[in-house]
């Protein structure tokens, strides 16, 4: 009977191995099930925290946007009583603010929160920024204005753009403003949808209300056409052209006249073979002058052939510019009549500051 003992032992070994394997499997399964029971609560807490963080950032953008919307409403209500520079500055500020808010909204929603509202939130403010640009273009085109140069940028200078602004008829401007209203209404509706979705998502985060349009009828064609007419007829917004000569200087520097010797309007100069004329031109009107031109004429008296040179520059309203100097050949001992005159743009009346005539008496050499 002794040989049977090893057989019983050999049968127990595989049984013991299976028990160990089953026990290990049960332990692993228990750990896995325990871990899965914790994933749900932890994930919800994480999603709630992300959604609330997004709402906190989005609230700042929304409040800033509401302030810009108030500026738009105030401008639309009072534009016809304002001055052109103030209107242009306000339009430019609205555009810059809306663009900054669009950039902040894009940053707040990246990466997108678990509620999935990031892209829609960013689109709201991108549409508002686009509407602000269209608003500015409509009134710039109606009034013949241009955006002011941004301080510190490569376009910041005393000169205006080399091309005239594209002018719009009253109807064209009204149509563009109606399109602005449509875009703003859509952005307001999309914001309300984002706000509801975020509130229903984990964390129940709340965004403040934000709307650029409080009355959709105010952006209808009939309403904005009336506003356009009021702006067009406003005396404070009317375009006026006024180019004037600030200074006219000649080089070499004139000689001091002997007491009682020089006739009025005659400038005495030392012997020279050439004279250089420098002019500072100012735009005192309410519109930019992209082709501000001065004609400089030098004629030997009494009956010489006129020598004419023109200088052109682009000037912004209220600014001045030194034009490129004009140099003429002269002969010692001769006299010349110098005439500097502004080439008047359309609709500008002639003023005493738009022309200047002087006789240059060149002293004999030796």
Residue 294 · residue 340 · CB < 8 Å? yes
Taking residues 344-350, report their average pLDDT.
82
* Per-residue model confidence as pLDDT tens digits over 190-238: 999 999 999 998 889 999 999 999 999 999 999 999 999 999 999 989 8
| End-to-end alpha carbon distance in the chain | 154
Instruction: State pTM to two decimals.
Output: 0.68
Residue 108 · residue 123 · CB < 8 Å? no
- HSE-CB for 266 with a 13 A CA cutoff: 14
pLDDT at 267 over 50: yes
Taking residues 14-19, report their average pLDDT.
52
Pairing of strands 274-283, 243-251: antiparallel
pLDDT value at residue 288:
83
In whole angstroms, how large is the CA radius of gyration of the chain? Answer: 39
Lowest mean pLDDT among 3-12, 99-108, 335-344: 3-12
Sequence ranges of the domains in the chain: 31-233, 243-362
Taking residues 156-160, report their average pLDDT.
43
Q: Which CATH architecture has domain 243-362?
A: Sandwich (2.60)
pLDDT value at residue 365:
86
pLDDT value at residue 17:
58
pLDDT value at residue 153:
52
pLDDT at 324 over 50: yes
Tokens of 219: 């952006």
Taking residues 8-35, report their average pLDDT.
48
Q: What are the E-state strand segments in 238-273?
A: 243-251, 266-269
pLDDT at 11 over 70: no
pLDDT at 3 over 60: no
Distance, CA of 243 to CA of 343 (rounded, Å): 9
pLDDT at 50 over 80: yes
Taking residues 249-266, report their average pLDDT.
80
Give the ranges where the chain is alpha helix by DSSP (H): 4-78, 84-108, 118-143, 170-200, 221-233
* Per-residue model confidence as pLDDT tens digits over 57-69: 999 999 999 999 9
pLDDT at 165 over 70: no
Residues paired with 312 in a beta bridge? 293
Please state, for a pLDDT cut of 70, what percent of the chain lies above it: 82
Lowest mean pLDDT among 132-146, 172-186, 257-271: 257-271
Distance, CA of 125 to CA of 132 (rounded, Å): 10
Confidence at 42, pLDDT banded by 50, 70, 90: low
More confident residue, 171 or 14: 171
Q: What is the mean pLDDT of the chain?
A: 85
């Amino acid at each position: 009977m002794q040989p049977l003992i090893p057989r019983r032992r050999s049968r127990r070994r595989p049984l013991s191995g299976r028990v160990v394997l089953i026990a290990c499997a049960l332990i692993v399964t228990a750990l896995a099930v325990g871990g899965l029971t914790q994933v749900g609560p932890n994930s919800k807490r994480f999603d709630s925290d992300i959604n609330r963080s997004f709402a906190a950032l989005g609230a700042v953008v929304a409040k800033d946007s509401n302030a810009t919307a108030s500026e738009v409403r105030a401008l639309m209500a009072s534009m016809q009583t304002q001055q052109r520079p103030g209107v242009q500055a306000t339009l430019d500020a609205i555009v810059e603010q809306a663009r900054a808010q669009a950039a902040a909204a894009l940053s707040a929603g990246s990466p997108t929160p678990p509620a999935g509202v990031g892209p829609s939130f960013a689109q709201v403010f991108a549409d508002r920024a686009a509407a602000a640009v269209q608003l500015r273009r409509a009134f710039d085109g109606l009034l013949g204005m241009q955006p002011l140069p941004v301080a510190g940028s490569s376009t910041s200078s005393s000169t205006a753009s080399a091309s005239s602004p594209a002018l719009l008829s009253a109807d064209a401007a009204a149509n563009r403003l109606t399109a602005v209203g449509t875009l703003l209404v859509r952005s307001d509706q999309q914001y309300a949808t984002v706000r509801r979705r975020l509130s229903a998502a984990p964390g129940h985060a709340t965004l403040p209300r934000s709307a650029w349009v409080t009355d959709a009828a105010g952006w209808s064609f009939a309403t904005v056409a009336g506003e356009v007419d009021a702006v067009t007829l406003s005396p404070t917004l009317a375009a006026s052209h006024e180019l004037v000569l600030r200074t006219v200087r000649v080089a070499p520097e004139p000689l001091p006249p002997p007491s009682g010797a020089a006739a009025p309007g005659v400038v005495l100069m030392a012997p020279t073979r050439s004279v250089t004329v420098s002019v500072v031109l100012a735009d005192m009107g309410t519109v930019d002058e992209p082709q501000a031109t001065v004609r400089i004429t030098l004629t030997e008296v009494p009956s010489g052939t006129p020598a004419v040179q023109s200088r052109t520059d682009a000037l912004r309203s209220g600014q001045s510019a030194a034009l490129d100097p004009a140099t003429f050949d002269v002969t010692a001992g001769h006299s010349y009549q110098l005439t500097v005159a502004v080439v008047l743009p359309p609709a500008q009346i002639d003023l005493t500051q738009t022309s200047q005539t002087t006789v240059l008496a060149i002293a004999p050499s030796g």
